[in-house]
Structure 1
Amino acid sequence: MNMNPLALVLSAFITIFVGFIWYNPKVFGTIWMRESNLTQEQLKTGSMLKIFGLTYIFSLMITLTLMSLTVHQSGAIGMVGGPPLIDSAKPSFKAFMTDYGQAYRTFKHGVLHGFMSGLFFAFPIIGVNGLFERKSWRYIFIHAGYWIVTLTLMGGIICAYA
C-alpha cells in the first residue's frame, strides 16, 4: 500500500476551509458568537498565527487518526509491525496486500467512516463538554455539525487519495 503524504497534508486544511465557511456570520457565525458570549472585537484579539498554526498541527494529528479509521489496510500493516517491517513480512501478507491492497479505497467509503467518526466520536465529546460548561444545545449542535462535516470530507480525501 503506497501512502500519499501530500493528500494527508492537504486534507488537514479542510478544518480551516470548512471553518471559514461554517463560522462565517452569514452561516452559523452570528449564532455561535452569541452562544459563546463572544463579540467581533474579542475575536480580533489573540495571535492569529498561533491560532491557525496550532489548528493546522492539530488537524495533521486528526488526519493520522482518520487514516487508521478509513484505510482498512492500515490494520494489516500494523499486524506485521508497521511500515519498517513490511519487507520482512511473510509471503501471505504480500499476497493479501496484492489482492486487497486497494479494497474500499474510495472517497465514498472514506466519507462513510469520516461521518461515523464525527457522529459517534466528535459529537459525544462536544456534547459532554457543552453540558458541563452549561452551553446551549445550539452551541453543541453548531460545533458538532462543523466536526461532522469536516471529518466527513477529511475521511473521503484520506481514504481515496492518501
Structure 2
Amino acid sequence: MEINFIALFLAAIVTLVVGFIWYHPKVFGTIWMRENNFTEEDLKKGNMLKIFGLTYLFSLMIAMTIISLAVHQSGAIGMIGGPMMVEGAKPSFSAFMADYGMAFRTFKHGALHGCMAGLFLALPIVGINGLFERKSWKYILIHAGFWIVCLTLMGGIICALV
C-alpha cells in the first residue's frame, strides 16, 4: 500500500474550506463570535498567514492519522513493521493483500470512520475543553459539529484515494 500524498494534501485543505463556510456569519459565524465575545475588529487582528499556515500543517497531521483509522490495510502494514518491511514480508502478507488490499476502500466507508472519529474523539475533546473553560453548549456543539463534518470528509477522501 503506497500513500497518495496528493490525497493527504487534499484532505488537509478540508478544514480550511469547511471552516470558511462553517464560521461564515450566515452560517455559525455570528453565534460563534457572540459565544467567544469577539467583534469584527478582533478577528482582523493576528497574523493570518501564521494562522492559516499552522491550521494547514495541523490538518495535515490529522489527515496522516486518519489513514490508520479509515484504511484497514494500514493495520496489516503495521503488523509487518511498516512500509519499509513490505519487501521482506512473509508470503502470507502478500496473499492477504492480494485478497483484501482494496477491500472497504470507498469514500462512504472512510466517511463512516471519519464521522466515528468526530463523534468519539473530537466531540469529547471539544466538550471537555468547553466545560472547563465554562463555555456554552452552543460553543461546544458549533466546534464539535465542525470537527465531525471535517473528519467525515477527510476520512472519505483518504479512504477513497490513499
TMscore range, shorter length: over 0.9
Cα deviation for residue 4 of structure 1 reads 1.1
**Which residue identity does 2:15 align to in structure 1?**
T
Determine helix, strand or coil for the equivalent of 2:87: helix
**Which residue identity does 1:145 align to in structure 2?**
G
Aligned to 2:86: 86
**Which residue identity does 1:127 align to in structure 2?**
G
Aligned to 1:76: 76
Determine helix, strand or coil for the equivalent of 2:51: helix
The equivalences for 1:17-28 within 5 A come to: 17-28=17-28
Aligned to 2:6: 6
Aligned to 2:53: 53
For 1:98 and 1:150, locate their aligned partners in 2 and report how far apart those are by CA, in whole Å. 32
Determine helix, strand or coil for the equivalent of 1:88: coil
For 2:122 and 2:11, locate their aligned partners in 1 and report how far apart those are by CA, in whole Å. 17
Alignment root-mean-square deviation, CA: 0.5
Aligned to 2:120: 120
For 1:51 and 1:120, locate their aligned partners in 2 and report how far apart those are by CA, in whole Å. 26
Aligned to 1:149: 149
**Which residue identity does 1:117 align to in structure 2?**
A
For 1:106 and 1:127, locate their aligned partners in 2 and report how far apart those are by CA, in whole Å. 30
Determine helix, strand or coil for the equivalent of 1:13: helix
For 2:40 and 2:82, locate their aligned partners in 1 and report how far apart those are by CA, in whole Å. 47
Structure 2 length normalisation: TM-score? 0.99
Structure 1 runs not aligned, ≥5 long: none
| Stretches (4+) displaced over 6 A | none
For 1:114 and 1:31, locate their aligned partners in 2 and report how far apart those are by CA, in whole Å. 26
Structure 1 length normalisation: TM-score? 0.99
Deviations for 1:87-142, whole angstroms, at most 9, x for unmatched residues?
A: 00000000000100000000000010000000010000000000000000000000
Aligned to 2:160: 160
Aligned residues: 162
